[in-house]
Amino acid sequence: MAIEFEFDTFFNALDRTKEQVLESAFIGVHDATDVLLATSRDEAPLKKGTLRTTSGKNVEVDGNTVTGEVYFSAVEEGRSGRVNYAVIVHEMGEYKNPTTPGTRPKFLERPLKRDAKKYNGMIASAIRKGLR
């Protein structure tokens, strides 16, 4: 006497669930990076507007990993060659005379750290919604 179990349906369901989690996580990371990008743009200096107009985001899935990136890339020619002054401005001490009230250094790092729980919640919520 033998007992047989056919697991193909079970494994197919697991594969679909994994796919749903990754798709939902992609949506959640996409939404979270949208919010981070908007918030950090508002805190970035606005003297010429270059910092804000050269910012962007990218979301990618690589295997089982979903990665979201927000960037500022204000590259200009300087005495020493090409320089991404977004990094320099981001890492400066407090601005003595900001060109626009509410702008500050660490314009990307501050909102990322301050709102990390919110971003994690957005991603978790998207995954829960995708698994319904």
108, two tokens: 């990307």
Smallest CA-to-CA distance from 68 within 110, 30, 117 is with 30
**Three-state SS at 60:** strand
- What pTM value is reported for the model? 0.81
Structure tokens, 93? 């001490």
Contact, 93 vs 105, CB < 8 A?
Answer: yes
pLDDT in tens, 67-92: 999 998 888 777 777 878 788 777 77
Least confident of 6-15, 42-51, 72-81: 6-15
Q: How many whole angstroms separate alpha carbon 64 and alpha carbon 72? A: 27
pLDDT at position 7, please? Answer: 65
How many H helices and E strands in the chain? 5, 4
